Amino acid sequence: MRLTRYFLPVLKENPAEAQIVSHRYMLRAGMIKQQAAGIYSWLPLGLRVLRRIEQIVNEEQERAGHIPLLMPTLQPADLWRESGRYDDYGQEMLRIKDRQDREMLYGPTNEEMITDIFRAHVSSYKDLPLTLYHIQWKFRDEMRPRFGVMRGREFLMKDGYNFDVDKAAALHAYNRHMVSYLRTYERMGLTAIPMRADSGPIGGDDTHEFLVLAATGESEVFFDSAVTELKLGNREVDYDNRDEVAAVCKEFTTLYARTDETHDQALFDAIPEDRRKVARGIEVGQIFYFGTKYSAAMGAMVTTAEGTKVPVEMGSHGIGVSRLLGAIIEASHDDKGIIWPEGVTPFPVGIVNLKQGDAAADAACEGLYKALQAKGLEALYDDRDERAGAKFATMDLIGLPWRITVGPRGLANGVVELTSRRTGVSEEMAPEAAVARIAEIYAGV
């Protein structure tokens, strides 16, 4: 993308309404525009990151054997009357009437609708296990929308629902979700710690929230610092192997890590003192086993191998797709701007032409741009007629992890400069070497 042809409405001043750094940088980098409280337009740069996050979520869900579909944003109220949640949900639910006076709502979540789909088409254990998910806009009329996309009213969520014949199979689905989530967050450059959350009336190990540590997080968290060292890495996990999946979950949930809702001071005090940490975290996902709560209420029954009819076992599992942009920025920035991890960056690399209009510099930039493109990498080429300082400030603000700087002086010696946004370290090399290096970096992403 050439910057002169792009739409990147960068702001010079700090917007007064933004209280936290991710909100401030998303507005300044021209990623979002607020349209009403907690409701945003996604401008081109923001949309590119949102799409990257969706792509990673999709890839990891499909790797775990989960199947995408798409349910609508608007739902009929009657479905929610069946589960009893139409009245229980309260003011967070946006209720709407259509021209026929039919009661509708803008979905805050989809348990009822997915159960309705299931009961219409599945009635035998032979069609199980089944996990369906979608990435769809939700609306919750939050009392205090704030912090930009972190607590919006309209927000993008991945929500998945498992259907299983018995509790053991449903807990395997739960575990599969935990492992796929760990891999999802790691690919985004995040450390998201699964924490025992409030399990409500069901009891047991049946809900975990995933928290990214950040001073601006809304949750208070208590954990053993050793938990932050755990990494899934590139290990292959066989998602069909119950024991293997359960072993990974055990590895990630044995060390103490809880939110204030489930915190147990006595257990916490048993951790060696230098590893006891109290901090704040951003909830970027939650997994939940709830058994037959919806299937029993809505008549989603399956026949078992023994020929009996039972309500199907279920769970629901969510990732805050749009919130993740804020969480990633909170976890990865400096005083100049965002520092995108390679996994989610809107463009893999930026090209800065120090002297637009100089024949050699222009030709070298074009050459780099095309060579990167040939390797499947779309650079953001700053081809504006601007001072170098302004170009660097824009690149630093929007946070592309790599920058290639091209100027007549370097070119006279056959070199350009490759700079890491994270470390600030620059290296001079031939243009071809810079392209090769960038390609190598992204080959593993």
x-or-dash pattern for ligand ATP, window 123-142, by CB under 6 A?
-----------------x-x
**Site track 296-325 with ligand ATP (rule: CB under 6 A), x = hit:** ----------------------x-x-xx--
Where in 71-110 is the site for ligand ATP (CB under 6 A)? 109
* Residue 173's binding partner out of Mg ion, ligand ATP, none, with CB under 5 to 8 Å set by partner kind: none
Site size toward ligand ATP (CB under 6 A) is: 15
Is residue 380 within 8 A of residue 396, CB to CB? The reply is: no
Residue corresponding to tokens 């990623």? 31
| Partners of 67 in beta bridges | 132
46 touching ligand ATP, by CB under 6 A: no
Give the residue with the Cβ less far from Mg ion, 286 or 332: 286
Say how far apart CA 188 and CA 400 lie, in whole Å: 14
- Matching residue, tokens 């053993």: 224
Amino acid in the structure at residue 197: A
Instruction: Find the helix or strand (DSSP H, E) in which 368 lies.
Output: helix 359-374
Residue 282 or 349: the one with the smaller Cβ distance to ligand ATP is 282
Q: DSSP for 68-93?
A: E----SEEEHHHHHHHTHHHHSGGGS
Tell me which residue has its CB nearest to Mg ion: 286
Q: Is 259 in the site for Mg ion (CB under 5 A)?
A: no
Q: Which stretch binds Mg ion (CB under 5 A): 16-24, 224-232, 249-257, 283-291?
A: 283-291
Per-residue binder mask for ligand ATP (CB under 6 A), 143-172, x = binder: --------xx--x-x---------------
Nearer to ligand ATP, 128 or 214 (CB): 214
Contact residues for 130 (Cβ-Cβ < 8 A; gap 6+): 67, 118, 122, 162, 163, 164
Minimum distance of ligand ATP from residue 147's CB (angstroms):
9
Name which of 322 and 394 has its Cβ closer to ligand ATP.
322
Token pair, residue 133, equals 């998910």
Nearer to ligand ATP, 85 or 391 (CB): 85
Query: Residue 288 or residue 381: which is nearer to ligand ATP going by CB?
Result: 288
Q: Which residue has the tokens 């637009």?
A: 356
> Which token pair is 88?
């229980």
Comparing CB distances to ligand ATP, the nearer of 150 and 400 is 150
**AA identity, residue 5:** R
C-alpha count within 13 angstroms, C-beta hemisphere, residue 384: 18
Length of the chain, in residues:
445
Indicate whether 286 belongs to the interface with Mg ion (CB under 5 A).
Answer: yes
Least distance from Mg ion to the Cβ atom of residue 10, Å: 34
Residues 148, 189, 285, 341: which binds ligand ATP (CB under 6 A)? 285
Contact residues for 405 (Cβ-Cβ < 8 A; gap 6+)? 352, 354, 416, 417, 419, 426
Give the Å distances, CA to CA, from 104 to 114, 306, 396.
16, 40, 45
Which position among 170, 284, 300, 325 is part of the footprint of ligand ATP (CB under 6 A)?
284
- Give me the residues that bind ligand ATP (CB under 6 A), please: 109, 140, 142, 151-152, 155, 157, 283-286, 318, 320, 322-323
